């Protein structure tokens, strides 16, 4: 599942009230603001992307005071469309462009489809619509490289928009006029972005202590709970659920932000159903935290530590497929068993049942592809 996003439009308020609403949005993880009046003031609040019909905006807006919002009459043949002409001009100047369209009739629905191949984003504003126009536009533009954003009033509207036609819109935009509403919509967007992985039960077939190798500890910016960890493995399409260091131990204090992940060549699942090599991870990279039910959330790498440590090979079998991973050979390193309990590598033995993720597609540069690749 792709990452969804939220933008805000600013309320028609004095600057001090508007400032508080924008600050709340920023604190909630929303950093794109549609505003036509206070660009310079907004920039002082943080690293914000401004959407406006102004040359100094980060994303140039067409459709305001145009055909998109109904100020100018829209002709059926679109040949002399002002909004289309302005969008093409801005793109030719190297700008990112967003179209703003009120869907009041079929003609404006078609305007959205015409603008889709030209612009980077489309904001769709429904006046008194059902979900059908939104479904039509998503279907018509699904092969275009454009992000569709639905204007919503509340968290219920955001949920509907993000789930329309299974894929949903790429994002939502709403007027930031209520602190609690802003936080709720931001959380809904986070939840809508969360993929779920279908974890399987594999049988351990071999456990073999090895010599030393370079292993990676991934320290994240999130505190993980018992039952959470990361999907990691020697093969990009078959991974073990490696448990976080969120458990107390007689040997060492817990480190709930850490996954002792494995050697440098191992793969780790990251957002977007992609994989990275553990050795590639650096501070600021995104990783996927996964729980025992396969539910996920995104976290950031705060630090990646590579150290020389003794390793252990774990092999398991699922429906005739052999899965392998290497981990540090230490009592505090755990995978997850069939009962969702952490299982230390010091205690693993052939016959144990453990949780794994199996994918049918191969991967090329971390992206799932329909191709035969042999990993062993």
Res 371: pLDDT: 45
Res 375: pLDDT: 60
Same domain, yes or no: 256 and 171: no
Domain edge (last residue) among 164, 192, 220: 192
Domain edge (last residue) among 161, 192, 223: 192
**Domain tally, the chain:** 2
CATH code of residue 218: 2.170.16
Q: Given CA atoms 339, 345, 347, 352 in this order, what sign does their dihedral have?
A: positive
Same domain, yes or no: 95 and 220: no
Res 193: pLDDT: 81
**Can you list the pairs that 363-367 forms with residues at least 24 positions away whose Cβ atoms lie under 8 Å?**
363/236, 363/237, 363/275, 366/236, 366/267, 366/270, 366/274, 366/275, 366/276, 367/274
* pLDDT of the chain, 376 residues: tens digit per residue: 567 899 999 988 889 989 999 999 999 999 999 999 999 999 999 999 999 999 999 999 999 999 999 999 888 788 889 999 999 999 999 999 999 999 888 899 899 999 999 999 999 998 754 566 778 888 888 888 999 999 999 999 888 888 875 667 889 999 999 999 999 999 999 888 888 899 999 999 999 999 999 999 999 999 999 999 999 999 888 999 999 999 987 777 889 999 999 999 999 999 888 899 999 999 999 999 999 999 999 999 999 999 999 999 999 999 999 999 999 999 999 999 999 999 999 999 999 999 999 986 544 444 444 444 556 5
CATH code of residue 128: 3.20.20.70
Same domain, yes or no: 188 and 205: no
Same domain, yes or no: 262 and 359: yes
Same domain, yes or no: 274 and 138: no
For residue 374, being part of any structural domain is answered with: no
For residue 130, being part of any structural domain is answered with: yes
For residue 184, being part of any structural domain is answered with: yes
The reported pTM is: 0.74
Residue 285, domain extent: 199-369
For residue 359, being part of any structural domain is answered with: yes
Domain edge (last residue) among 165, 192, 219: 192
Res 365: pLDDT: 43
Same domain, yes or no: 87 and 234: no
Look at the block and give the residue holding tokens 């073990």. 240
Q: Given CA atoms 327, 331, 334, 339 in this order, what sign does their dihedral have?
A: positive
Same domain, yes or no: 105 and 209: no
Q: Regarding beta strands 296-318 and 321-328, do their DSSP bridges make them parallel or antiparallel, or are they unpaired?
A: antiparallel
Give CA separation, 184 vs 153, 160, 178, 223, in Å.
Answer: 12, 14, 10, 21
44: number of Cβ within 10 Å: 9
Res 364: pLDDT: 41
């Amino acid at each position: 599942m792709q990452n969804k996003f939220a933008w805000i439009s600013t309320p028609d308020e004095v600057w001090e009230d508007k400032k508080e609403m924008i600050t709340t949005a920023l604190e909630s993880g929303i950093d794109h603001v549609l505003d036509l009046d206070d660009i310079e003031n907004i920039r002082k609040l943080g690293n914000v992307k401004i959407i406006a019909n102004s040359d100094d905006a980060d994303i140039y807006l067409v459709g305001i005071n145009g055909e998109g919002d109904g100020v100018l009459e829209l002709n059926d043949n679109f040949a002399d469309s002002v909004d289309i002409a302005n969008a093409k001009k801005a793109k030719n100047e190297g700008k990112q462009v967003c179209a703003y369209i009120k869907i009041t009739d079929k003609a404006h629905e078609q305007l959205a489809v015409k603008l889709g191949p030209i612009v980077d984003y489309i904001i769709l504003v429904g006046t008194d619509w059902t979900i059908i126009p939104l479904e039509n536009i998503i279907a018509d533009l699904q092969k275009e490289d454009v992000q569709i954003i639905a204007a919503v009033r509340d968290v219920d509207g955001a949920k509907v928009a993000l789930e329309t036609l299974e894929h949903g819109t790429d994002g939502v935009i709403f007027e930031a006029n209520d602190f609690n509403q802003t936080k709720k919509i931001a959380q809904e967007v986070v939840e809508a972005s969360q993929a779920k992985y279908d974890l399987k039960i594999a049988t351990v077939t071999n456990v073999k202590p090895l010599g030393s190798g370079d292993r990676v500890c991934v320290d994240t910016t999130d505190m993980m709970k018992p039952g959470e960890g990361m999907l990691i493995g020697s093969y990009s399409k078959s991974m073990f659920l490696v448990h976080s260091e969120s458990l107390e131990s007689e040997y060492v204090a817990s480190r709930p932000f850490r996954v002792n992940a494995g050697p440098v060549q191992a793969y780790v699942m990251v957002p977007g159903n992609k994989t990275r090599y553990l050795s590639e991870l650096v501070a600021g990279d995104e990783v996927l935290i996964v729980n025992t039910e396969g539910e996920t959330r995104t976290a950031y790498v705060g630090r990646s530590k590579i150290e020389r440590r003794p390793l252990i090979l774990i092999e398991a079998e699922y429906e005739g497929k052999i899965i392998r991973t290497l981990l540090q050979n230490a009592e505090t390193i755990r995978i997850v068993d069939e009962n969702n309990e952490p299982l230390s590598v010091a205690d693993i033995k052939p016959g144990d049942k453990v949780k794994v993720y199996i994918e049918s597609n191969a991967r090329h540069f971390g992206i799932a592809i329909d191709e035969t690749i042999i990993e062993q």
